[in-house]
Structure 1
Amino acid sequence: MNRTHRIAMCGIAAVMALALAGCAGVGQGANGDSSVSQQSDSAPQKNETPGITETTSLDGIIDAITKDFETTQADISADLESAKAKAGGSYADYTANSDALTSWIDDTQGKTEALIARTSDSAAKYYKLLAQQAPSMDYRDVDDAMKAFYRAVYDDAFSGFYRAVYTDGYKDVYRTFYDGVMKDAYDAVPYAEASDAQSAMYRAISDGQSDLYRTISDAQSDTYRTHSDVASEFYNKNYDLSKVLDE
């Protein structure tokens, strides 16, 4: 059973990785830096990305989004280390701290969803600020500002978070708990009990990883679509983004 679950788990991870790689490949190749740093007042949002203040700049918004991804990623990693310390040493440790793994899975999903909500709000703020400035800008500068956001958020931030949490984080979970703790279980309790515990753990890890994949993939797709729609509006010299941003 151990071997069967391991093969299945690896297969799921491989398929998901290929699927997200395909999603990330759409529209790739945009590059360029934002050269605009004009100021504008903007009211804070409920889900506002930390670091984005009432008065900010295009570059400042990108920097704040990037830092938010990095901070969230670091928090998730620290939580995993805590879970491993509590329940990753042996099957006895795992049973004594039975919610450590599932709590990490649930918290990771929740923190990822909150990060995505903040990023969506911050992206809208970026586009609206650029729309205010665009009429007095050369189109090449507008295009550079759009490319800068695309590269920093769609390409770098999402891809880095995916690798760190979905790929590396869950790989660490699999090795620590499924390979390590469950291997110890067969020496600690009757086979039937160990087998049932291993199956339950596999389902929890697999379901958690699948949910995280869908969340990141859907968010990255939404980011791409909105960016593309806004870019089209700017190309046509339309700076009213209320329809594009569903306002």
Structure 2
Amino acid sequence: MAAALSLGACGGSGGETTQPGTTDAPPQQEQAAPANSLEAFIQDVQADFSSTSKKLLDEQEKLFAEVGETYEDYLASVDKIQQWYDLAVSETEALGARAVESGREYYKLVVDSVDVTDDRELDKATEEYYDSVYEDAFEDYYDEIYEDAFDEMYDAYYDGVIQDAYDVTPYDEWSEAHSDAYDAWSDARSDVYDAWSDTRSDVYSDYSDVRSAFYSNDFDVEGVFAPVQVVENGGTVESAESAAGDAEPAAADSSDASGVDPEFKAMMDGYESFFNEYVEFIKAYGENPTSTELIAQYSNLMAQYTESMGTMSEVDTSDLSPADAAYYAEVTARIYENLAEVA
């Protein structure tokens, strides 16, 4: 019996011997990427947001320790503070660009990972990036950096050591330092918001484009994001679509990739930018109502506020395209959420 078992084992390991009644196994087919790889991909993107936020917060802690807590320490460290502001802007820009690129890679992975004929599974997988990144990761980063970290900088310097030096510093010197600190803080914070908002909008546009393509059974993700090529035609330059006889080139040119009219988007982005500035001003004014600089700005800003609220309320949403209406709802929701902080 032992000999038979030994012989059978040897025969099973040989390259040319087969057992009676068996056939060679068919060649292995290439397996589709497992569905859980989508989850792992999104976790990596979320980790990128978390690590970028942590990097900025860690650098901020180092800055606070290095600068110290006196007015003289602050004056000697203005360049270091500006370096943190610059880092916050550059890291936010780079993070947003990575999020856009990751989204496009994710949608390719969706096509490779799920049954594209199963509408429910396809929708679920596609929406996961929107929910986890556009909604959650971007919002968390906004809260941690744009809100909390910049509030810490404001409290530490503009409303902290500089404000404390008011009674012991010549007014002209103090006023210049106070104003410069606010400008540096405000400019950097606005740049961070612009980088955050622009790339977040790009993520939304990509999501919208992919959803539309998938709905039309177009699963060529690279084609969805391919840049429009131009060709020479009789000495003029026109889009490849026009050269091919596209019947509606003008309509295609009148909106951006998400379908939102560029002029309407610019108008709404302008409103949002103003209201962000307004909220920051009201916060600063509430904390320092005797500031001559803020008092001088108050009347003009309130007039702009009244005008902007009136103009925005006059938008007739019933006349908007679906894409414009969706963008209007998205922006106004953020505006009112922001205004609620100073209501």
Deviation at 1:184, TM superposition (A): 2.8
Unmatched runs of 5 consecutive residues or more in structure 1: 1-37, 41-55
Residue 165 (structure 2) pairs with residue 185 (structure 1)? yes
In structure 1, what is the equivalent of residue 72 of structure 2?
92
* Distance of 2:170 and 2:144 partners within structure 1: 36
Q: Give me the identity figure in percent.
A: 38
Q: Distance in 1 between matches of 2:74 and 2:226?
A: 47
For 1:206, the equivalent position in structure 2 comes to: 186
Residues 68-77 or 81-90, more deviating: 81-90
Q: Does 1:228 align with 2:222?
A: no
Match of residue 33 from structure 2: 39
Residues 36-115 of structure 1: pairs in structure 2 closer than 5 A: 39=33, 57-115=37-95
Structure 1 position 113, deviation (Å)? 1.1
Cα offset, 1:137, TM superposition: 4.7
Structure 2 Cα separation of the partners of residues 89 and 163 of structure 1 = 25
Corresponding residue for residue 130 of structure 1 = 110
Contact 2:71 2:161 survives alignment (8 Å): yes
Using the alignment, how far apart are the partners of 2:116 and 2:206 within structure 1? 23
Residue 117 of structure 1, aligned match among 79, 97, 107: 97
Aligned length: 195
Q: Tell me the CA shift for residue 134 of structure 1.
A: 4.7
Report the CA distance between 1:61 and its aligned residue.
1.1
Structure 1 residue identity aligned to 2:174 = A
Contact 1:178 1:202 survives alignment (8 Å): yes
CA distance in 1, matches of 2:50, 2:68: 25
Amino acid at match of 1:97: S
> Equivalents in 2 of 1:198, 1:85: separation in Å?
21
Tell which deviates more after alignment, 64-73 or 114-123. 114-123
The question of 1:173 aligning with 2:143 is answered no
Instruction: Tell me the CA shift for residue 187 of structure 1.
Output: 3.9
Shifted more, 219-228 versus 234-243: the winner is 234-243
SS of the residue 1:168 aligns to:
helix
Structure 2 residue aligned with 1:217: 197
Offset from partner CA, 1:6-32 (integer Å, 9 cap, x none) = xxxxxxxxxxxxxxxxxxxxxxxxxxx
Aligned counterpart for 1:162 among listed residues 142, 149, 170:
142
Q: Does the aligned pair in 1 maintain the 2:71–2:162 contact within 8 Å?
A: yes
* Mapped contact 2:115–2:121 kept (Cα < 8 A): no
Does the 8 Å CA contact 1:83/1:101 hold for their aligned counterparts? yes
2:204 counterpart letter in structure 1 = Y
Deviations along 1:72-123, one digit per CA (max 9) or x if unpaired, are 0111111111112222511111112221211110001111111112212211
Q: TM-score, normalised by structure 2?
A: 0.54
Counterpart CA distance in 2 for 1:164 and 1:196 is: 29
Structure 2 residue runs without a partner (length 5+): 1-31, 228-343
Q: In the TM superposition, what whole-angstrom CA distance separates every residue of 1:198-240 from its partner, at most 9, and x where no partner exists?
A: 1111110011111111111111111111001101111111111
C-alpha RMSD of matched pairs (Å): 1.7
Distance 2:93 2:144 in 1: 16
Larger RCO: 1 or 2 (CA < 8 Å, sep 6+): 1
For 1:136 and 1:103, locate their aligned partners in 2 and report how far apart those are by CA, in whole Å. Answer: 48
